[in-house]
Structure 1
Amino acid sequence: MAVVFSKELKKTDIQHRFSVPSDSLQFIDFAGEFSADLRVKDSSGELRVIRCRKRHGDYAKPELSKGWRKYVTDYELRVGDRVVLLAEEDRRLGSHYRIEARRTIILFGHEVCGGLPRAN
């Protein structure tokens, strides 16, 4: 299992589209296209399809678009939460990704990071 990215969410990531770190491009097979539909399994075991697209031209900054906002709503994500995308192999599904949402809270003066369950 390889970490594709781990990112703390910003306001734009929540409200519009998720800006993916550029060094993650090496883990995504665009097959010569400007978008790829990623098969993503969330922490509740649901298989989702989230589109990753990249800009045209020299600066191919990727972003998650179609399917991303549904994930945000289902897990009630907010600014400051962390999203981790992992690439993995599954005998039944083949190559796919696992997505995890995490929230950091202060508990008795210490930061504690935990996975978020599906809210909806």
Structure 2
Amino acid sequence: MEVANKVLRRNDIENYHCSIPTRSLQHVDFPAGRHYAYLRFKDSSGRLRVIRCNTRHEGHPKPELCGGWRRYVTDYELKVGDRLVLLVEEDRRLGSQFRIVARRRIILFGVEVWDDLPRVHY
């Protein structure tokens, strides 16, 4: 199931955080009294990534990916206009599992296509 799908902006790429839709929070289990959680994602190359998700202490929660996000941007050489897709899959044995996918827009025979990006840096 898709949790978030957004086109990356300059702020998401150049800074050490990436805002995600507030509706994504329903899939995140924050420890009691904490405004952050460490999310475990499997990326498209099969690597397990731990990325911290923060929310504001007061007012609108505004979730954002921070710790570990910059490494993901570098490994996949993400650019402004690329698409970030976060997915959650239910596993009867393991519980909820997150996946993170980066996609780039290409025009193929005049048709817009979003293709998964391969990991560049290992």
Q: Same fold (TM over 0.5)?
A: yes
Please give the range of the TM-score, normalised by the shorter of the 2 chains.
Answer: over 0.9
Unaligned stretches of 5+ in structure 2? Answer: none
Unaligned stretches of 5+ in structure 1? Answer: none
SS of 2:70 mapped into structure 1: helix
TM-fit CA distance, 1:23: 1.2
Matched, 1:5 2:4: yes
Deviation by residue 1:14-57 (Cα, 9 ceiling, x = unmatched): 11110111111111111231000000000000001000000111
Percent identity, aligned pairs only, is 61
**1:93 and 1:42 mapped to 2: Cα distance?**
17
Show the 5 A alignment for 1:13-52.
13-16=12-15, 17-32=17-32, 33-52=34-53
Q: Which runs of 4+ in 1 moved over 6 A?
A: none
TM-score by length of 1: 0.92
Shifted more, 70-79 versus 104-113: the winner is 104-113
Show the 5 A alignment for 1:1-120.
2-16=1-15, 17-32=17-32, 33-90=34-91, 93-120=94-121
TM-score by length of 2: 0.91
Structure 1's 92 and 72: CA in aligned 2 closer, same or farther, altered over 3 A?
farther
**2:62 and 2:106 mapped to 1: Cα distance?**
31
**2:72 and 2:107 mapped to 1: Cα distance?**
25
Match of 2:76, as an amino acid? Y
**1:81 and 1:104 mapped to 2: Cα distance?**
7
* Corresponding pairs, count: 119
**2:90 and 2:21 mapped to 1: Cα distance?**
22
8 Å Cα contact 1:86-1:97 kept in structure 2: yes
